[in-house]
A and B are shown apart, each in its own frame.
Chain A
């Protein structure tokens, strides 16, 4: 059974702190995505990672991919309140996309 597991599921962190969200998946995939979802809103694409060792950065977020370990990380640097949202890791197999359960991030002042 194909699984995408994220941890932690809930994360409360203070502004200015660093933290990492982990995503483990159970099968070979050729693409890994990170999405952001604000309450009541749709999904916004953050990163697409295509190959082993890929690293992408945008602002305070950095995503990496280790295909051998079937692990992706989303690292948050010096968190700010605007980053509060739910973050989803997603893998694709063919043209099917499988989402993790999400990590709900709350950044507190």
Chain B
């Protein structure tokens, strides 16, 4: 079956532009996570949804970052007024489980480059 998909796969933005990154989780998956992976580093947690509820956004680095999942399926990560330090791969992962997440399935990521 279809896995987690993300779009676009690559995004180049000029500093100060707003960007929107989309994640389509596996159908029926309750939990959805966003991670930021800088070059040569491990992924870092950004935020977590259970259905449409954003239960944890403690990893969002600034108020320029905003995530939503209005209908409990597709999620969008929005970055306003992008800065060079926002350049990274943004990974989305989903899980069938709600309260106790045992296994995550990762999407291919969106590579964001801010010039």
Question: Which residues of A approach B to under 8 Å, CB–CB?
Answer: 4, 31, 41-45, 48, 88, 90, 92, 95-102
Contacts and interface: CB of A to CB of B under 8 A. Distances in A.
B43 A43 contact: yes
The 3 closest A-B pairs by CB, nearest first: A99-B42, A42-B106, A43-B106
B91 A100 contact: no
- Binding site secondary structure of chain A: strand
A94 B93 CA distance: 16
A1 to B, nearest CB: 13
A31 B102 contact: yes
Contacts of B102: 31, 48
Contacts of A96: 45, 48, 56, 58-59
Please tell me the size bucket of the interface on B.
20 to 34
A48 B43 contact: no
B108 to A, nearest CB: 5
A42 B107 contact: yes
A31 B40 CA distance: 24
B17 to A, nearest CB: 24
A100 B42 contact: yes
Contact of A95 (B40, B41, B101, B109): B101
Contact of B42 (A31, A42, A92, A102): A102
B44 A92 contact: no
Nearest to A102: B42
Given A42-B91, A42-B109, A98 B103 contact: no
Contact of B55 (A48, A95, A99, A100): A95
Given A42-B108, A42-B109, A43-B91, 19 more contacts: A4-B42, A31-B102, A41-B108, A42-B91, A42-B107, A43-B43, A45-B103, A48-B102, A48-B103, A88-B42, A95-B55, A95-B100, A96-B45, A97-B45, A98-B45, A99-B42, A99-B44, A101-B40, A102-B40
